[in-house]
Amino acid sequence: MNGSWLIAGVTLGTFLLFAAGGWWVALRMKDRRQRNTTHLKVGFLIVLGVVFATYAFWTDSQQRRTTLHEIILDGTSAKDAIFQVEFNIEHAGVEHDLLIGPMFRPPTLERADYEIRLAATLEQQDGTVLLSDEYTFQPRTRGTAWHAEYLHFTPQTTGQHILTLNMLSPNIPAVHVRVADPLKTDGKRAPGY
């Protein structure tokens, strides 16, 4: 949970920094009414900071806890490359979330400025296909990643599942894959998250 505390601390710290600046300005005001109004605004900033920090902590810790499997695959410049991601399902009959998102690995100054296509197939160990489709990823405006696909699937069995990604476009730098299980309570994020 260290990452969740860090995100919450940075969020709250930012608001407190602005609040301290407002308090400092209020101390130099000669008009008492203006000073009181500024103190109210500073109080509002502090309350807002606590609310946003709490939300950031809750959201991040929830994602960490429910992560079943997460990996960032190195991309390829070749078209029609195939990657496989294997993971074990712990809770059958429960709807799981699957994120697939092309990206540049941080730190980078490169920008996503072209369309990417890939095909994804998710199979159970017995060969039953849970998902199979082609996806087109549009670049985010001035971002280092493409808009991700958020998919849902319900595994019928526990055990090994295989996600096969077929790169239909050349020059895919990396692909972020995250599988979430809402019943999981001890998940771990990939390094850097």
The model's pTM is: 0.75
Q: What is the pLDDT along the chain (193 residues), one digit of tens a residue?
A: 467 677 788 898 899 999 999 889 888 888 888 888 888 999 999 999 999 998 888 877 777 789 999 999 998 888 888 999 999 999 999 999 999 999 998 888 888 999 999 999 999 999 999 999 999 999 998 888 999 999 999 999 999 999 999 999 999 999 999 999 999 988 887 776 6
In the chain, the amino acid numbered 65 is R
* C-alpha to C-alpha distance for 89 and 72, rounded to whole angstroms: 19
Contact 99, 177 (CB under 8 A): yes
Contact (Cβ atoms closer than 8 angstroms) between residue 122 and residue 89: no
Cα three-residue angle 67-68-73, rounded to 5 degrees: 90
Q: Is the bond into 102 cis (omega within 30 degrees of 0)? A: no
